Amino acid sequence: MKIGLIGLGIMGKPMAKNILKAGYDLTVNDLHRESVDEVVSCGAKAAGNREIGESCDIVLTMLPNSPHVKSVMLGEEGVANYMKAGSIFVDMSSINPMASKEIYAVLQEKGIEMLDAPVSGGEPKAIDGSLSFMVGGKQEVFEKCKSLLETMGASVVRCGDVGAGNTTKLANQIIVACNIQALAEALTLAQKAGVDPKLVFEAIKGGLAGSTVMNAKAPMMLAGNDKPGFKIDLHIKDLNNALDCAHSVGAPVPMTAEVQEILQWLHNHESGQKDHSAIAQYYEYLTDIQIGR
């Protein structure tokens, strides 16, 4: 089975390396040649999008947003123009579910199957192969691709038909963003009240308030570490998609709108490329303190 992967960014590059470790025949492409060269040095082949479409049984993408996926797949020189009937497209990007359905409709006319399979876990879990995949698509197509996805993830769950994967990812991103905001508020409260936020974190992380988000992001806030595992600008993109989807289906999302405003404020203050845990820096700006320092 030949696999193609387009998109070797913060997430895509380590995911490609885990596919190679599992022994798959992998061909890759990306706009940044140094990323391609790094993955090729691990055993992949390099090719353009046309060759990937012509030669691969499964084509994967890991791209920033809906327009990028549509362009790569459905543009004038789009990969779908060269894929064989019966081949499979798996989009691991986090995009609007409506865009996934639009792409799927075009691919079905060409006899190409599709899964939307966004991931959660950020760069650390991409590196160690323990991402969570939220998948939409036909059960039989999911079964064909599950073992491949398991080379990159510890959890691979089919959530419904095409579009369900990205709807689930939007729900995930709402929960993550609101958790980070609540954590930043709580640690700010502790410090302003004269209690060491490091000790607050140690005391509550094993209780009901504890979470994977807290365990990952509290140490970063306390250390002032904003090196991106997942960038603020990407979370803004995801929450824009969540708000668009919510408005179209009539779902109330006031907490999402509030945290989106904080993220947008950070973007406007030159923090868009920082980790989303830098939400804490919004509270530091308001209070003139540095959490844990």
Cα–Cα dist 269/27, whole Å: 39
Rounded distance between C-alpha atoms, residue 19 and residue 25, angstroms: 8
Q: CB atoms < 10 A from the CB of 207, how many?
A: 7
User: Which one of the listed residues 13, 169, 231, 237 is annotated catalytic?
Assistant: 169
Name which of 51, 109, 279 is nearest 178 in CA terms.
Answer: 279
Distance, CA of 12 to CA of 39 (rounded, Å): 10
In angstroms, the CA 190 to CA 288 distance is 14
Chain centre distance of CA 99: 16
Long-range contacts of 261-269 (CB under 8 A, 24+ apart): 262/181, 263/177, 263/232, 263/235, 263/236, 263/239, 264/236, 266/232, 267/232, 267/233, 267/236
Distance, first Cα to last Cα, the chain: 52
- CA-to-CA distance for 99 and 105, rounded, in angstroms? 10
Q: Active-site residue 169, yes or no? A: yes
Q: Known catalytic residues?
A: 169
